[in-house]
C-alpha cells in the first residue's frame, strides 16, 4: 500500500506585514488634508494580534478604516481574517474600534471544515484537527488536489492557507 500524502490547512496573517501596513496607514493619515487637526490614531498590539482605531467621529472612523484596509490589502494581509468590533465612544469626544486578527483556525470553524470534507465523501481522505490547523491525508495526491479545490470554493469566513504538502 502506498504511503499517505498530506497537507495542512491553516490561517493567519504575517504580523510583520500588519505592522508595516499600520505604519503606512499612519503616515498617510498624517499627510491627508481631511485628517488635519483630528485625533486619529491606529495602535497595533503584536502580542494579542489586535488593532485599535481611534477617531473623532463615525465618518472619520470609516475613512481611517478604509485607509488601513487598503494598506493591508496591498501588503497581502487577508482582510477576511479581521474580526471587527463595534464602534464605541471613548474619552475626549472620540470613538474607538477594536479589530482582532484571526491567527489559527478557531475550534468551531475547524469542526465545520472537517465536517464539510467528510460530507463531500472523498473516497479515502481523512481530515483531523491538530490544534489550530487541520491535516488532510489521503493515499491519492489527486484526491488531495480535489479537496483543496473544494475548500477554496467554500466560504468559511476565513482566508485558508494550504501548506506543508507531503507527497
pLDDT of the residue at 2: 59
Q: What fold is seen in the domain 15-101?
A: Alpha-Beta Plaits (3.30.70)
- The whole model's pTM is what? 0.81
Could you report the per-residue pLDDT of 89-147, keeping only the tens digit for each?
Answer: 878 888 999 999 888 888 998 999 999 888 888 888 899 999 889 999 999 888 888 99
C-alpha to C-alpha distance for 71 and 153, rounded to whole angstroms: 26
C-alpha to C-alpha distance for 62 and 77, rounded to whole angstroms: 19
pLDDT of the residue at 1: 45
Could you report the per-residue pLDDT of 20-31, keeping only the tens digit for each?
Answer: 999 999 999 889
What CATH number belongs to 5-12+104-166? Answer: 3.30.70.860
Half-sphere exposure of 54 (CA within 13 A, CB side): 12
Q: Where in the chain is the domain with CATH 3.30.70.860?
A: 5-12+104-166
Percent of the chain with pLDDT strictly greater than 70: 99
User: Cβ(107)–Cβ(91) under 8 Å?
Assistant: no
Amino acid at each position: 500500500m502506498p504511503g499517505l500524502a498530506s497537507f495542512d490547512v491553516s490561517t493567519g496573517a504575517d504580523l510583520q506585514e500588519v505592522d508595516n501596513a499600520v505604519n503606512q496607514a499612519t503616515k498617510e493619515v498624517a499627510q491627508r488634508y481631511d485628517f488635519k487637526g483630528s485625533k486619529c490614531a491606529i495602535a497595533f498590539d503584536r502580542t494579542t494580534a489586535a488593532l485599535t482605531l481611534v477617531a473623532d467621529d463615525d465618518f472619520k472612523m470609516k475613512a481611517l478604516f478604509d485607509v488601513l484596509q487598503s494598506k493591508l490589502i496591498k501588503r497581502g494581509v487577508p482582510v477576511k481574517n479581521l474580526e471587527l468590533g463595534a464602534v464605541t465612544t471613548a474619552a475626549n469626544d472620540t470613538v474607538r474600534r477594536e479589530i482582532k486578527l484571526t491567527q489559527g483556525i478557531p475550534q468551531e470553524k475547524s469542526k465545520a471544515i472537517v465536517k464539510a470534507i467528510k460530507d463531500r465523501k472523498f473516497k479515502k481522505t481523512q481530515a483531523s484537527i491538530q490544534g489550530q490547523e487541520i491535516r488532510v491525508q489521503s493515499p491519492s495526491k489527486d484526491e488531495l488536489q480535489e479537496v483543496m479545490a473544494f475548500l477554496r470554493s467554500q466560504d468559511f469566513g476565513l482566508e485558508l492557507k494550504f501548506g506543508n504538502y507531503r507527497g
